[in-house]
Chain A
Amino acid sequence: MRVATPRSAGVWTAVAVVIVASAAIAAQQDQPERFGFGRPATEAEIAAWDIDVTPDGTGLPPGGGTAVEGRSIYVEKCEICHGAHGEGRPFSQLVGREPRQGFPFGNQPSLVRTIGNYWPFAPTLYDYTFRTMPFDEPGTLEPDEVYALTAFLLYLNDIVAEDDVIDANTLPRVQMPARDKFVGDNRRGGRELR
């Protein structure tokens, strides 16, 4: 916006008066419910970005895969960072069911939290792998590859069988070992420490 430069004190005063007057008008007006800014989003735009997958499977695309198929993709695209058996060298450990009993993470700092012992929902694994992995080429996997890798990682964690087909129908029904361990935040401030 181009604004004329006021040159005299008189003009400055006039400008000030106008500013004060318009501020008063604005203050008197109620903010509208809507300003009308922004534009309608198209379905294509939403589809391109709406990649999240929720625990009930909403957002899972067509396709599917098994651990057998996932193994070769894993060797090619994941092993270098997560280890041949998902043992997590050099990066995050992806496999681990220990301890089979209980959920002692609060007391045992050395226990590694993994998909097998800590993740509550299987569809989250699809969501995260699709959106971020492989770390050095994020967002490059096809849905079938992600299904197969999800199947493979669930298989390594002893949660599904090697030939189970993982797809939009079966993935939400996979029971994760840590499914019922999570609780809401009960901290409320005040004197009680929680």
Chain B
Amino acid sequence: MPKQIDRLGDPVRRISRRAMLAGTAGAFGTATLPFGKAHARQQDRPNVPDDPTKVQGRDASELGTRSQFEQVRRSAGRSSSQTPHQDLDGIITPSDLHYERHHGGIPEIDPDRHSLLIHGMVERDTMFTVADLKRFPSRSVIHFMECSGNGGRSYRNRRTEDVTPQQVDGLTSTSEWTGVPLATLMREVGVDPEASWILAEGGDAAVMTRSIPMGKVMDDALIAYGQNGEALRPEQGYPIRLFLPGWEGSASVKWIRRIEVGDEAFMTREETSKYTDPLPDGTARQFSFTMDTKSIITFPAYPDTLPERGWWEMSGLAWSGRGRISRVEISTDGGQSWSDAELQGPVLPICHTRFRAAFNWQGDETVVLSRATDETGYVQPTLDELIAVRGIGTRYHHNHIRGCRIRPNGSTVFTVDA
């Protein structure tokens, strides 16, 4: 049985995609799913009527659920979980599949008992209830958020092959975020013009703290309470979180309860011991907030198997913490030549952007890669280029080119060989 059929949860989608692309809808069922095996497999599948046009379907419900055939899941450890990019399309990550990372678990918070304190270099130290915050003029924005550790496992070990997009790059997701601009709150409390940093502090067991420069605070920082049209998920900071577009996820402090305004960085453990980048020249870069331009291929990717030669559509995501993606190129020869992929709209600033490119696989060993460029002209580097400027010891900001190697038998493995 071809490997991709075994992949948890998406036999239906993959089959239909392949059938459409390769134009072998009829042949497929018999050619690659021998009847006996298909039948055996049918036994473990959820029971559905033979002909759904001959029985009434089920009633409406208060809360929708996925089809029982769709078993999309985050992969989850104790303090992080990863988005299954290989199973998703478009650019929005379903809220329950948005990646998570926390430093003291997910707190349970009663929104009626949660407040945001803003104090320090302000005219009025003020306590805002969640209801107060929702009364201010709101704003909704669609942005990606990425953990700065995302992609790390493909950085130090360039021989890593049997890893899925979720396992390598699942710590990035895109949502629509709704909230009140932090600049509005700063005006409300009368921020001192001399103030240059804030400390954002969470109400979780880590009492997570990060210093944020005032420029970002007044530019596009949001105190968010909504995600994809509903309240934030608990793992995303319910009832309120800081959201800093384009910046490493850890700075967007969740369950935020306190903002102290000051005129210096506070130098917390999360911006000294952690989330700093030692460089080859013997210094360490601090406050490296912005997420650099990056792209990943979500199909084909390990453990997909291409069952036959011919035309296939490659698909993936590209994003930049500095603005819009202006271009994504793909290579099917390991980076020797590149051609433009199609950017699928909407192409939003600081947002996952879906790209697609058809390629004709001739059955040879083929390395397919993607390379993104953003509107500032930044071009996604190769692993070697990145290591040359950052050093092999760095732990964050791993935005190098990656893709997959398609073997002559159609099986695929992850690769960073560009």
Contacts and interface: CB of A to CB of B under 8 A. Distances in A.
B117 A41 contact: yes
Given A46-B125, A121-B272, A37 B136 contact: yes
A62 interface: no
Nearest to A125: B269
A5 interface: no
A178 B126 CA distance: 37
B197 to A, nearest CB: 10
B51 interface: no
B117 to A, nearest CB: 5
A40 B124 contact: yes
A183 B119 contact: no
Contact of B378 (A121, A186, A190): A190
Interface in A96-138: 102-109, 111, 113, 115, 118-121, 123-124, 127-128, 131-132, 138
A52 interface: yes
A139 interface: yes
A194 interface: yes
B307 to A, nearest CB: 39
A181 interface: yes
Interface stretch (B168-176, B231-239, B285-293, B340-348): B285-293
- Please report whether the interface of chain B is mostly helix, strand, loop or mixed according to DSSP: loop
B132 A37 contact: yes
Given A138-B104, A181-B283, A182-B283, A34 B188 contact: yes
Nearest to A31: B137
Interface string A12-42: 0000000000000000000101110111110
B229 interface: no
A107 B393 contact: yes
A184 B287 contact: yes
Interface string B306-345: 0000000000000000110000000000000000000000
B279 interface: yes
Interface stretch (B29-37, B41-49, B200-208, B362-370): B200-208
B117 A107 contact: no
Contacts of A31: 137
Interface residues of A, number: 54
B257 interface: yes
Contact of B207 (A106, A107, A131, A183): A131
Given A127-B269, A194-B389, A37 B188 contact: yes
A100 to B, nearest CB: 14
A109 B410 CA distance: 35
Contacts of A189: 290, 322-323, 374, 376-378
B13 interface: no
Contact of A183 (B266, B284, B323, B392): B284
Interface string B185-222: 00111100000000101000111010000000000000
B339 to A, nearest CB: 21
A34 B258 CA distance: 20
Nearest to A39: B127
B95 interface: no
Interface in A41-97: 41, 45-46, 49-52, 54-55
B282 A104 contact: yes
A103 B258 CA distance: 35
A7 interface: no
B268 interface: yes
A121 B286 CA distance: 13
Contacts of B266: 52, 54
B281 interface: yes
Contacts of B135: 35, 37
Contacts of B357: none
A185 B284 contact: no
A2 interface: no
B126 A128 contact: no
B282 A181 contact: yes
B272 A106 contact: no
Contact of B394 (A106, A111, A123): A106
Contacts of B133: 37
Given A41-B127, A127-B269, A191-B377, A109 B322 contact: no
B267 interface: yes
Nearest to B269: A128
Contacts of A54: 262, 264, 266-267
Interface string A171-192: 0000000100111111111110
Given A106-B390, A190-B376, A37 B128 contact: yes
B386 interface: yes
Given A35-B135, A109-B156, A41 B126 contact: yes
22 contacts: A34-B187, A38-B189, A40-B124, A40-B125, A41-B126, A45-B117, A49-B117, A49-B257, A52-B209, A103-B282, A107-B392, A119-B272, A124-B268, A181-B283, A182-B276, A183-B286, A185-B285, A185-B287, A185-B289, A185-B290, A188-B376, A193-B385
Given A38-B126, A182-B286, A183-B284, 9 more contacts: A35-B188, A45-B117, A46-B125, A52-B201, A52-B268, A105-B391, A106-B394, A132-B104, A185-B289
Interface of B: 103-104, 117, 119, 124-129, 132-133, 135-137, 156, 187-190, 199, 201, 205-207, 209, 257-258, 260, 262, 264, 266-269, 272-273, 276-290, 292, 322-323, 374, 376-379, 381, 385-386, 389-394
Interface of A: 31, 33-35, 37-41, 45-46, 49-52, 54-55, 102-109, 111, 113, 115, 118-121, 123-124, 127-128, 131-132, 138-139, 178, 181-191, 193-194
